[in-house]
Structure 1
């Protein structure tokens, strides 16, 4: 009994030592990690825009079982490893069968490698196929089974499997040979995808089509014998043409190149905000427009969803076959022409300098050494600010910018996320020229600004990935909501392009608020528009900034802008989309004529102040100073005076208010105030 107990203890100790040794070896020599996978950029539905090769130019697209035809998975397991779901990496029955067949035939006639062992071999290739490498594969297979689920092992196998040339993985193979993902496969395609890894180079369809056909036929016969495929379908499938190599998807070329830099190492897929169908339509439209415009003309455009700031289509160039086509022209600073004028007037509205119906003179005027003139070199005389913006008159815009302050305006653009490239010259020369395009901005910059205009003047960064939608990015109020709405109402009333009927009050389609721009020397043609819940910016020109004489933003870019809006889904028009009601309001007498006198100063309440509401309901005495007596307005309504002649403001409740002080010459200053209760 003692001997038995001793033997049992010894054997147990040996077993324990063996187990500990195995665990130690497993920890010291873990299986290799999955190799780098191709970065793939898709839309929210999984449609691939572009994939990027890994080292040595190989295509290795990650495989996901939920995106692969289940019939292919069933056929693969039936042929390669029928007990895949029950063994632990090594199939003893397959080993015995292979050994028996080898003894009977005097040579190796069948293998015993499981899919897990093949995965181990793909993760850790060995130059020689001998007993030592077989044992190492078996060890690695046990390690893989210990660490990962069957689904993870199968996905790794289907990511690394060779398919001839520089193709690795079933996803890359399906795109290269069939032109679509492996989520829907014919019997012939399934058979070819199983046959190819067995002899990747010998059966390459593009180089050895006869071998590919015969290898596919053998798999079809096997599937028919195993009852996975009807015999008649197997025979018909064997006659299908052998496919040739196809190109990988290449939509959103430039945007995808930028987005791949945001990928996480363990998740080589970027789910972009781009919409596949809209992107394809936008690229076709841009290519057609550029082809019709003449030699070497490029078109770049962005489509942004206003509510989310998500970029739904991005065309960096009309064609990579045209000069400059490899450059992302949505991200290159160009002169924006007159496209910044809406923001100049919006700031003037905020400052109390003007209103839509304020009269301003369009006549020759010199600003130190700078003397702007209108594009057509015709001056209109006395016009309203709305007319000056709708017809893009230059002198009124420069005069308004001079009052707003060129440095302040440029700083506002920078704070909003647009970084104008301004030459280092005197402000009165280059600074005021910002009104007419004297600062470089990109298509992305303008899209950011105009999407802010569509969102009551609040500018936020554009969103390029689905995961970033809803993230509370910091915003900047470049214009007040009131001024932003007034500017949009003005832009909706601008003269429509030729062949386009003006939006009527009974139209079901939302009116488009748009602005065009043309840079000096006809180098850049622009159109930016807001409507139907989207912001669209279009640029047309030569990538090397050569002039296109006579080609203005209105002629070259605006028709494309309207064509892009035709691609967008119809949205129910809001009242303010169709009606210029904001422009129909009475203009206060002091703002009926634009003047350049010193602006008054508001002492209380100061701009951006947060003021507690008085518990006893008493109002506030508004205080300011100016060259003349001041009139006070809160949210456009005049403030009454008390018996002592003091302006007393009684807020109606907590919230945001706009307080204006206007002197007798028409100069005004705006203060934005938030009234809060004592509890905050």
Structure 2
């Protein structure tokens, strides 16, 4: 048995050792408190704006110029995480910051080979180096890294350590973090990586500049293949799977990170809560298609013209795509200006709502006749776009041809104040000239409105007359879901039926949409707004400085973009609504007398022509006509009249002559000699007759 002296010495030694250990641990604890790892000073991450499905819509570089996207484990494929841990730190889930076995193995290999064969750094140690870069590769720096790794493990969970590493790991150039690298090299989020892509992204952070695939593809390929072979040795991959992955090429170009919806993204970040990624109602695929449409169209239109588009879901008011300009960075087009929010004259695009109110009040039917001729409305003399006039036309023709005088006639009957009140009811507040009451010029674009507001009005036409306020997620105040009425359902269908019969622009594929075009005064703005049974797309074309553009027009300049936008949005077409039960579209001959013609018979007259009943002035009543005396017995008899309203229908002995005539002369070839009765009927239904004797 040991002597008491020896036991006493052992007890003293043990106590001294325990005391020293306690003092050492206390010193470490005090050091840990006094010099914690700079976890709170982690480098800033890139601001992000997300689409409606959570996809990255636009990313912004950090203030120091890096693409560094915050990364969560649920954003990364599990296979990549497993491969990373197996390659870099296979005992990651078990150690407390330092892998003693790995450090021992690395030391023995260094002694045996006189060079570094493998490192002993854990992922925690690598994170320590990323958040606190070392000044040198000295032994003291390595000790500091070990201590920092232990500190990090005391403060963060394993999951948090991985997420920070995946956010900060270098991938070459100004790319940091696996999300930025995956998007730049493969054009997709790391949630959808292949085995080959995972292996390359595992290999890159060790020597990010030397292994950059866009600059050193051979080196990147060799590094990727070494990772694949290591996974086979570790039992994480089969030989066949690794061989298949090794056949894939490495990317040799670097893509730009998503940069869609520039104007909306800027506004969303300004209005967002700090530290949160704003989520818009925009759908990424729709936005990408519309931006391509705007870019291609602007290239064809010319260097100073821009294009803006807004596509909305009429059932919810959600904006699925919005393009404020053809190119945000193009100074020639003033691309930084969001033209979806700028007040401009809407041209003829408000006409459907004028006719809609008239349908609603029972003033018109589609086949009601209305006069298109020069008219004076208390000093206001509207003229058609082509400076010509059609005479008598149907309401359907007047809207489809976008005739100005008929639209003003109907607006005069409906009342401009009522039209503006209906717009206000739908949540849209057009801007009138200062100190002016609503006037007839509204019908031809004499009011200021934005593209967004115009699309909001048209969502009512696409949604049975019910309007939802538009929203894109940038709003400071949440938009209400309540719907307002712009037109009642029967009137709304009548308008859709008319606009659905519009001929597509030349070269455009039929789409089954109802649409209207407009051109503002002075050729400053070209518009086209169309809709199917659910979606509404509005197009504006012009210069941001409101300069005139000779030849600019809604039908020629904007309508082709509208049809292209619907196709390239990728949205499935939704049929226009069927004719509602009880809603009629009577033929002209079935109209009651009150709907046969719009307006009073004694209304404004055709310039230089009396509004009196028609009167046949040649041949006169009772005349004897000797056609045999003519030098050419085959020549027809010329008929002339005065008064009446075009078009005119002639009858000979009760038999109609071919077609309608808008002139006051016609010709008639008698069947033979004898008495004949000639009759003319004008557009108002008034008739005049003469009897002649043909010899």
Matched, 1:575 2:578: yes
What is the aligned partner in structure 2 of residue 489 from structure 1? Answer: 497
CA contact (8 A) 1:359 1:385 kept: yes
What is the aligned partner in structure 2 of residue 246 from structure 1? Answer: 255
- Post-superposition Cα deviations, 1:205-242, rounded to whole Å, max 9, x if no partner, equal 44455654554454445334434455684698399456
CA distance in 2, matches of 1:284, 1:578: 41
The DSSP-based 3-state class of the residue aligned with 1:529 is strand
User: What are the within-5 Å matches in structure 2 for residues 279-298 of structure 1?
Assistant: 279-293=287-301, 296-298=304-306
- Post-superposition Cα deviations, 1:337-367, rounded to whole Å, max 9, x if no partner, equal 11012223334555x4834456654433334
What is the aligned partner in structure 2 of residue 537 from structure 1? Answer: 538
Equivalenced residue count is 579
Matched, 1:375 2:377: no
What is the aligned partner in structure 2 of residue 164 from structure 1? Answer: 172
Quick one: which of 179, 187, 190 aligns to 2:198? 190
CA distance in 2, matches of 1:578, 1:514: 24
Matched, 1:61 2:69: yes
CA distance in 2, matches of 1:515, 1:579: 26
1:300 CA displacement: 2.8
CA contact (8 A) 2:53 2:283 kept: no
What is the aligned partner in structure 1 of residue 405 from structure 2? Answer: 395
CA distance in 2, matches of 1:295, 1:31: 50
CA distance in 2, matches of 1:587, 1:160: 78
User: What are the within-5 Å matches in structure 2 for residues 430-509 of structure 1?
Assistant: 431-465=439-473, 472-494=480-502, 497=505
Moved more, 186-195 or 372-381: 186-195
CA distance in 1, matches of 2:247, 2:387: 74
Moved more, 155-164 or 386-395: 386-395
What is the aligned partner in structure 2 of residue 37 from structure 1? Answer: 45
The DSSP-based 3-state class of the residue aligned with 2:470 is coil
What is the aligned partner in structure 1 of residue 335 from structure 2? Answer: 326
1:175 CA displacement: 2.1
Pick closer, same or farther for the CA change 1:235–1:582 going to 2, 3 Å: closer
1:424 CA displacement: 2.5
CA distance in 2, matches of 1:241, 1:342: 56
Pick closer, same or farther for the CA change 1:235–1:397 going to 2, 3 Å: closer
CA distance in 2, matches of 1:420, 1:541: 20
- Post-superposition Cα deviations, 1:499-533, rounded to whole Å, max 9, x if no partner, equal 7899xxxxxx8x53221111112222211112142
Quick one: which of 237, 243, 248 aligns to 2:246? 237
CA contact (8 A) 2:310 2:323 kept: yes
Quick one: which of 99, 121, 135 aligns to 1:113? 121
Pick closer, same or farther for the CA change 1:206–1:586 going to 2, 3 Å: same
1:421 CA displacement: 4.1
- Post-superposition Cα deviations, 1:537-569, rounded to whole Å, max 9, x if no partner, equal 122334444434334212232233334444541
CA contact (8 A) 2:172 2:208 kept: yes
Matched, 1:153 2:161: yes
CA contact (8 A) 1:539 1:557 kept: yes
1:331 CA displacement: 3.1
CA distance in 2, matches of 1:596, 1:127: 95
- Post-superposition Cα deviations, 1:625-649, rounded to whole Å, max 9, x if no partner, equal xxxxxxxxxxxxxxxxxxxxxxxxx
CA distance in 1, matches of 2:204, 2:502: 62
Pick closer, same or farther for the CA change 1:86–1:114 going to 2, 3 Å: same
The DSSP-based 3-state class of the residue aligned with 2:279 is strand
CA distance in 2, matches of 1:398, 1:95: 88
- Post-superposition Cα deviations, 1:102-146, rounded to whole Å, max 9, x if no partner, equal 777899875543223333443444546667766665566556545
The DSSP-based 3-state class of the residue aligned with 2:320 is strand
CA distance in 1, matches of 2:500, 2:464: 15
What is the aligned partner in structure 2 of residue 525 from structure 1? Answer: 526
- Post-superposition Cα deviations, 1:466-504, rounded to whole Å, max 9, x if no partner, equal 999x974344434344443343333334455457899xx
CA distance in 1, matches of 2:187, 2:37: 40
CA contact (8 A) 1:490 1:583 kept: no
Moved more, 353-362 or 188-197: 353-362
Which TM-score applies when normalising by structure 2? 0.69
What is the aligned partner in structure 2 of residue 223 from structure 1? Answer: 231
Moved more, 451-460 or 566-575: 566-575
What is the aligned partner in structure 2 of residue 274 from structure 1? Answer: 283
The DSSP-based 3-state class of the residue aligned with 2:159 is helix
What is the aligned partner in structure 2 of residue 341 from structure 1? Answer: 351
CA distance in 1, matches of 2:499, 2:284: 28
CA contact (8 A) 1:165 1:201 kept: yes
What is the aligned partner in structure 2 of residue 657 from structure 1? Answer: none
User: What are the within-5 Å matches in structure 2 for residues 603-622 of structure 1?
Assistant: none
Rg (Cα) greater in structure: 2
Pick closer, same or farther for the CA change 1:457–1:135 going to 2, 3 Å: farther
1:158 CA displacement: 0.8
1:419 CA displacement: 4.4
CA distance in 2, matches of 1:406, 1:209: 68
CA distance in 2, matches of 1:304, 1:110: 57
CA distance in 2, matches of 1:572, 1:529: 13
How big is the alpha-carbon RMSD for the aligned residues of Structure 1 and Structure 2? 4.6
CA distance in 2, matches of 1:89, 1:591: 90
The DSSP-based 3-state class of the residue aligned with 2:579 is helix
What is the aligned partner in structure 2 of residue 603 from structure 1? Answer: none
Quick one: which of 293, 298, 309 aligns to 1:301? 309
The DSSP-based 3-state class of the residue aligned with 1:156 is helix
Pick closer, same or farther for the CA change 1:441–1:131 going to 2, 3 Å: farther
Which TM-score applies when normalising by structure 1? 0.70
1:301 CA displacement: 2.3
CA contact (8 A) 1:90 1:138 kept: yes
1:286 CA displacement: 4.0
CA distance in 2, matches of 1:368, 1:35: 70
- Post-superposition Cα deviations, 1:395-435, rounded to whole Å, max 9, x if no partner, equal 3333444555546644654564444344426447xx43222
CA contact (8 A) 1:252 1:279 kept: yes
Q: Which runs of 5+ in 1 are unaligned?
A: 503-508, 598-680
CA distance in 2, matches of 1:136, 1:418: 64
CA distance in 2, matches of 1:500, 1:245: 36
